[in-house]
Amino acid sequence: MEPVIEFEDVVKIYPLKSGDVTALNHISFTVHRGEFISIMGPSGSGKSTLLTLMGCLDKPTAGTIRISSREIGDMTDAELTSLRRDRIGFIFQYFNLFPLLNIIENVSFPQMIKTGAGVDPEKAKKVLRAVKLDERLYTHTPLELSGGQQQRFAIARSPIKDRDILLCDETTGQLD
């Protein structure tokens, strides 16, 4: 089986004035192509930290992370950018929506930076309808939505169709 994500003895420490927080303490595992895995643990146990490292949004304090057998510590910023942009879909626990863009613009944004092309509102509307977001909300900004609406919108915004790796952080926590 082809390994897609490999963690080897990974440590993540957040240095804080009040004392270091060890969020990940020597973690090793492998995820293979086609596998669907869940990570469970109490609040503060390091799940989001783990996903952040799997998504190459942050680097470990120690240890090795490989994506498709390439060590991310050896990659340039440009290589990491295209890895995140082209291969990884991330639905964040706290949504990370752009507060100044409306719903349609937020949903179109990942596609815009990938292709450099303008926004096709019809494409965005199609995914928004799939998560059952009412059309009258499309011109709202994220802060004008409820928690559950923001979550559905974050799912719609995540470019997941053509990605090799999907990372979903408590994606249904605010849904009915």
Ligand X SMILES: Nc1ncnc2c1ncn2[C@@H]1O[C@H](COP(=O)(O)OP(=O)(O)OP(=O)(O)O)[C@@H](O)[C@H]1O
In the complex, minimum distance from the CB of residue 26 to ligand X, in angstroms, rounded to a whole number = 15
In the bound state with ligand X, the residue whose beta carbon lies nearer, of 41 and 116, is 41
Q: Could you write out the three-class secondary structure of the chain?
A: CCEEEEEEEEEEEECCCCCCEEEEEEEEEEEECCCCCCCCCCCCCCHHHHHHHHCCCCCCCEEEEEECCEEHHHCCHHHHHHHHHHHEEEECCCCCCCCCCCHHHHHHHHHHHHHCCCCCHHHHHHHHHHCCCCHHHCCCCHHHCCHHHHHHHHHHHCCCCCCCEEEECCCCCCCC
In the complex, minimum distance from the CB of residue 170 to Mg ion, in angstroms, rounded to a whole number = 6
In the bound state with Mg ion, the residue whose beta carbon lies nearer, of 48 and 149, is 48
In the bound state with ligand X, the residue whose beta carbon lies nearer, of 54 and 155, is 54
What is the binding site for ligand X (CB under 6 A)?
A: 14, 16, 21, 23, 41, 43-49, 93
In the complex, minimum distance from the CB of residue 122 to ligand X, in angstroms, rounded to a whole number = 35
In the bound state with ligand X, the residue whose beta carbon lies nearer, of 40 and 117, is 40
- d(C-alpha 37, C-alpha 14), whole Å: 26
- d(C-alpha 113, C-alpha 95), whole Å: 18
What is the binding site for Mg ion (CB under 5 A)?
A: 47-48, 93
In the complex, minimum distance from the CB of residue 171 to ligand X, in angstroms, rounded to a whole number = 12
In the complex, minimum distance from the CB of residue 21 to ligand X, in angstroms, rounded to a whole number = 5
53 interface partner picked from ligand X, Mg ion, none, CB below 5 to 8 A per type: none
43 interface partner picked from Mg ion, ligand X, none, CB below 5 to 8 A per type: ligand X
In the bound state with ligand X, the residue whose beta carbon lies nearer, of 50 and 128, is 50
